Amino acid sequence: MGKKKKGIAVLSGGLDSTVAVSVFKEDYDIHAVTFNYGQRAANEEINSARAICDKLDFKHTVINLKWLKDLGSSALTTDKDLPILKENQLDDTKLTNESALNVWVPGRNVVFTSIALSFAESEGAEIIIVGWDKEEAATFPDNSKEFLKSFNELINIGSIEDIEIKAPAIDLTKKEIVELGEKINAPMELSYSCYSGEKSHCGICESCLRRKRAFKQADILDKTKYLE
């Protein structure tokens, strides 16, 4: 058996990135990077990412970007109240756009992906794996197919190496991500999606609601522990 190709993964510890990186777990030697940018859920996200990497035998690095916390006024990095929706409001464009604005962290995916590129160049990796998906792209432009295409074009122009960003969930809803995760035996039970940073998922923030709905719609057992 030949030596595996190398990949860098941006792994938040969340559902989307956990499934995305699991798509490549057999064919690539993966180094996952997780970012601590002063978010409420930093500790739980890091613990989750570490557990996933231990399970899948990936190298794991935590990168501190505390300066990002001081930019903007995201509810993820300040004491602002987290936006709360009901499950039947998750497809209300007006409400979800307002919610997204409240949790937006300036330039986050641009920064994360650029740093991942630095790792990829230095380690001879051929791909960068991200968890961007169709459902998130509805309110977060840095999850969109257009963003993926543009960033790959940027790399093609600005990098001396042949590196491509891979986003296997780019055309998938959360339900479809859960279905894919089940099919490929991704360790979804180890992932952490909550905005609040509590040890157990709060069950009421938008991220928790989307996670709960996805498992329910997919009719797949949700092993997540929710406070509510």
Check the annotation: does 208 bind a ligand.
yes
Give yes or no for a contact between 167 and 143, defined as CB atoms under 8 angstroms apart.
no
- 53 annotated ligand-binding residue: no
Whose tokens are 């609601």? That residue is 209
Burial of 100 (0-12, 13-18, 19+ CB in 10 A): middle
Q: Is 22 helix (H, G, I), strand (E, B) or coil?
A: helix
Q: Is 18 annotated as a binding residue?
A: yes
Amino acid at 30: I
Query: Is residue 21 part of an annotated ligand binding site?
Result: yes
Query: Is 13 annotated as contributing to ligand binding?
Result: yes
Chain mean position to CA 45: 10
Q: CB burial class (10 A; 0-12, 13-18, 19+) of residue 162?
A: exposed
Please tell me whether 194 is known to bind a ligand.
yes
Q: Are 65 and 37 in contact (CB under 8 A)?
A: yes
Does the annotation place 14 within a ligand binding site?
A: yes
Q: Is 53 helix (H, G, I), strand (E, B) or coil?
A: helix
CA distance 9 to 30: 7
Does residue 11 have a known ligand-binding role?
A: yes
Binding site residue list:
11-21, 194, 202, 205, 208
Binding site residue list for Zn(2+):
194, 202, 205, 208
Binding site residue list for ATP:
11-21
